[in-house]
Amino acid sequence: MGNVYDFTVKDRLGNEVNLGEYKGKVLLIVNTATGCGFTPHYEPLEAMYKEYRDQGFEILDFPCNQFADQAPGSDDEIHEFCTVKFGTEFPQFAKIDVNGETADPLFAYLATEKPFEGFGKGLKMAALKKFADANNKKFGDKAYIKWNFTKFLVDREGNVVTRFEPTFDMDEVKKAVAAAL
């Protein structure tokens, strides 16, 4: 695969979407969950989307239930939760797997382009690492994503620029998005 534009994914209604439709835009691709401690990330994500979408910025939201069953609802239930609770307007796709034999090829690609480098330092990060390692043990070398709300920044040419673990400060994510625009 050359870049993210080579992938096709399913929207939340089950329709195929070629990511080539996003050529020329800066993308933030995120795996999400509605019952996670990081679910409040939806708020700064939506704020960023509103601020930058007219400059060619898109957030692509992929719900995933592989981390402690924190996204158990249907695609419609997840979408309703996000739009009612956080007012999200950015595109939300069908729920996927991001790890293991059933991992969506897009996320396997993203994680290969920008592998996991750690959650950071501190007790909170160490606790998350321990929990994530236990959860992801079943995926072996196909544990591409370590937890919900991992974010990948993609430039206007479809290249993966950087990876943000859920523990990264959202202000840092915003600065990187602004620089990419």
**What φ, ψ does residue 140 adopt, rounded to 5°?**
55, -130
Active site residue 36: yes
The H or E element containing residue 16 is strand 16-18
Separation between Cα atoms, residue 54 and residue 11, nearest integer Å: 22
- Contact between 149 and 30 under an 8 Å Cβ cutoff? The reply is yes
Give the CA count within 13 Å in the CB-facing half-sphere of 113: 21
Catalytic pick among 19, 36, 59, 111: 36
Residue ranges of alpha helices (H) inside the chain are 42-52, 75-86, 105-113, 123-136, 170-180
Q: Give the C-alpha distances (Å, rounded to integers) separating 161 from 33, 126, 180.
A: 23, 26, 9
Catalytic residues: 36
